[in-house]
């Protein structure tokens, strides 16, 4: 019989609707250039697909170590950082000890706790979406693990480093999920390399390689080797290992340039959105923008979809009513979104007045 714990779970919600302009999953809007994809295809062709891949991903780890400026021994690889979130929820503390999660945030932290039946301590962020330190310190007594998305998804801001450290001082193992590191430049890497109670998560998903499913945990060697014990032995496929290696070496300049373009576009998009009446845009250090309008989020979401633009409705999360999240796209996609947003707001304003 299936466990009640599992029957109670809600499946992770992804956006499946079709649209020409897809700005719903915080992917990099640029695919690798054709010549580089040709190189990847060429190398993948050489893979003996009847063979298991290198379980320790040695060559890929060398490349990642260089790319992220750490040592291979500091890295544990995951099939996306999502898998590492599972591993950490299994490995840190005991299963009857709670996990602290400041909300609203990335749903995988809660999902991993629910799968394991671990208690959760959810503390709502304050009005500027920063950690509510006083309330957090009151409730972290029985907590052994904390997750911070840094910058936070979907609010886009960076939490106070000091507050994260103050909570950690209570004996809380601290996971800093830096999925958007390339857009923020802010990091807990030094803490992760100098302390056994802090690890950093990074991923290739938000810098153009979401299809490969490669995420990494960066930690001191003695922590990394323990977590590595529970990693499924062949969790990174052979093609992913080969493709990631090429993309991060031969494609490095391309990726870095694309990230710079997105950061520039983020600021332009934010300025343009702020000019629209009734739209409140929150500052972002990531590759997306959270915004609130006077209208129900699901109505605006479907108006945008009618105009062939897909964004993410975030109003189901605590404190985010009437909020949506738009990923920063290519300049022409952002223009299409702006036009669709303006049209949708006009339509909703007129239809409200007529009822």
Site residues for ligand PLP per CB under 6 A: 26, 80-82, 106, 149, 153, 177, 179, 203, 205-206, 210, 215
Shortest spacing between CB 213 and ligand PLP, in angstroms: 7
- Tell me the closest approach of the beta carbon of residue 30 to ligand PLP, in angstroms: 17
Residue 119 sits at φ, ψ, to 5 deg, of: -65, 150
Q: 96 exposed, middle or buried (CB, 10 Å; 0-12, 13-18, 19+)? A: exposed
Provide the angle, in degrees to the nearest 10, between the axes of the packed helices 297-306 and 331-353.
120
Q: Is 143 in contact with 100 (CB distance < 8 Å)?
A: yes
Q: Which is nearer to ligand PLP, 149 or 247 (CB)?
A: 149
Closest distance to ligand PLP from the beta carbon of 244 (Å): 12
φ, ψ of residue 123 in degrees (nearest 5): -120, 125
Terminal alpha carbon distance of the chain: 51
Q: Is 114 left (phi over 0), alpha (psi -120 to 50) or beta?
A: alpha
d(CA 328, CA 212): 21
Residue 81 vs 334, nearer CB to ligand PLP: 81
In this complex, which beta carbon is closest to ligand PLP, that of residue 106 or of residue 129?
A: 106
Nearer to ligand PLP, 173 or 181 (CB): 181
- Residue closest to 212 by CA, chosen among 75, 77, 316: 77
Q: How far is the CB of 92 from ligand PLP (least distance, A)?
A: 17
**Considering the complex, what minimum distance in angstroms separates the CB of residue 201 from ligand PLP?**
7
CB of 243 vs ligand PLP, minimal distance in Å: 15
Query: Is 30 in a helix, a strand, or coil?
Result: coil
| Beta carbon of residue 87, minimum distance to ligand PLP (angstroms, whole number) | 12
Nearer to ligand PLP, 65 or 137 (CB): 65
198, HSE (Cβ side, Cα atoms, 13 Å): 20
Of the pair 259, 345, the CB lying nearest ligand PLP is at 259
Query: Of 177 and 303, which CB lies nearer to ligand PLP in the complex structure?
Result: 177
Q: Does the N-terminal peptide bond of residue 104 adopt cis geometry, omega within 30 degrees of 0?
A: yes
State whether residue 318 is helix, strand or coil.
Answer: coil
176 strand-pairing partners: 148, 200
Residue nearest to ligand PLP (CB): 80
What DSSP line would sit under 330-341, residue for residue? Answer: -HHHHHHHHHHH
State in angstroms the smallest separation of the CB of 20 from ligand PLP.
22
In order of 51, 89, 342, the CA distances from 108 in angstroms are 32, 10, 33
Q: Which is nearer to ligand PLP, 205 or 241 (CB)?
A: 205
């Amino acid at each position: 019989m299936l466990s009640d714990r599992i029957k109670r779970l809600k499946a992770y919600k992804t956006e499946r609707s079709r649209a020409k302009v897809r700005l719903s999953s915080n992917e990099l809007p640029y695919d690798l250039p054709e010549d580089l994809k040709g190189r990847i295809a060429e190398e993948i062709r050489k893979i003996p697909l009847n063979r298991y891949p290198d379980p320790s991903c040695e060559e890929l780890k060398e490349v990642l170590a260089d790319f992220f400026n750490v040592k291979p021994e500091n890295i544990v690889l995951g099939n996306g950082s999502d898998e590492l979130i599972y591993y950490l929820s299994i490995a840190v503390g005991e299963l009857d000890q709670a996990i602290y999660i400041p909300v609203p945030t990335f749903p995988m932290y809660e999902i991993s706790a629910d799968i394991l039946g671990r208690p959760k301590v959810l503390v709502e962020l304050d009005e500027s979406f920063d950690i509510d330190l006083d309330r957090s310190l009151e409730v972290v007594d029985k907590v052994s693990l904390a997750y911070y998305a840094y910058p936070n998804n979907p609010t886009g801001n960076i939490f106070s480093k000091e507050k994260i450290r103050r909570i950690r001082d209570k004996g809380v193992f601290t996971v800093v999920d830096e999925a958007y590191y390339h857009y923020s430049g802010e990091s807990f890497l030094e803490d992760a390399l100098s302390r056994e109670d802090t690890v950093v998560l990074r991923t290739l998903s938000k810098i153009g390689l979401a299809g490969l499913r490669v995420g990494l945990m960066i930690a001191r060697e003695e922590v990394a080797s323990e977590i590595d014990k529970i990693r499924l032995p062949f969790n990174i496929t052979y093609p992913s290992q080969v493709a990631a290696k090429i993309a991060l070496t031969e494609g490095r300049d391309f990726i870095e340039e694309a990230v710079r373009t997105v950061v520039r576009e983020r600021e332009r998009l934010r300025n343009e959105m702020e000019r629209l009446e009734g739209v409140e845009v929150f500052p972002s250090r990531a590759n997306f923008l959270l915004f609130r309008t006077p209208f129900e989020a699901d109505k605006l979401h479907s108006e945008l979809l009618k105009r062939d633009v897909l964004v993410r409705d975030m109003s189901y999360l605590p404190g985010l009513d009437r909020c949506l999240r738009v990923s920063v796209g290519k300049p022409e996609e952002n223009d299409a979104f702006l036009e669709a947003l303006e049209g949708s707001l006009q339509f909703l304003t007129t239809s409200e007045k007529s009822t």
